[in-house]
Amino acid sequence: MSEELKIQNEKKEEMTEKNQAERTREGRVYIPRVDIYENNDTIFVIADIPGVDESSIDITLEKNTLTIDARVQVERPEGYSLTYAEYGIGDFRRKFSVSDEIDREKIEAKVKNGVLKLILPKTDPAKAQKILVRVA
């Protein structure tokens, strides 16, 4: 089976977290699929979050945990009821542990057509420094 067919056959994974706080919104929460790329200066996280725009995404960095919360607004035609659905609609949530090599002040996030792109710049490596010793 080719890689492309494998990806198409995978189902959306629903979030099940043991210590998850009570939600104020009804509905399912899915784990968005991500691709992570890295070069010498930056780590890029690309997440699929269909049905989400910039006003319905919350990205927080607390301690060393980066959390993506995205809310989907369900749009159903007025006067109709759902007869059959192959695609589950729900919010998205994903958490990542972030190391100290990320420059927390320069993190950027962009969203376009249901794809979130997080840009996590790395900090400059600490340079060796000579400490001058003086007579007290």
CATH number at residue 117: 2.60.40.790
**Residue 18 resides in a domain:** no
Closest CA to 111 of 61, 43, 51, 21: 51
How far, in Å, are 47, 55, 63, 92 from residue 34 at the CA level? 4, 20, 22, 12
135 in a domain, yes or no? no
- Please tell me the predicted confidence (pLDDT) of residue 130: 79
52: containing domain: 26-75+86-121
Q: Is the pLDDT of residue 58 over 90?
A: yes
pLDDT tens digits for range 25-51 = 667 899 999 999 999 899 999 999 998
Cα angle: 59, vertex 10, 45; to 5 degrees: 30
63 falls within a domain: yes
Quote the number of domains for the chain.
1
> CB within 8 A of 69, min separation 6: which ones?
57, 58, 59, 60, 91, 92, 93
Task: Please indicate, yes or no, whether the overall pTM of this predicted structure exceeds 0.75.
Answer: no
Average pLDDT over residues 129-136: 80
Residues in the chain: 136
Q: Are 51 and 73 spatial neighbours (Cβ–Cβ below 8 Å)?
A: yes
Residue 55 lies in a domain: yes
Q: Which residues pair with 121 in a beta bridge?
A: 42
| pLDDT of the residue at 17 | 54
pLDDT level of residue 16 (50, 70, 90 thresholds) = low
Question: Could you tell me if residue 40 is inside a domain?
Answer: yes
Specify if 48 maps to a domain: yes
The stretch 72-95 carries a mean pLDDT of 85
Higher per-residue pLDDT: 84 or 87: 84
Residue 91 lies in a domain: yes
pLDDT at 25: 61
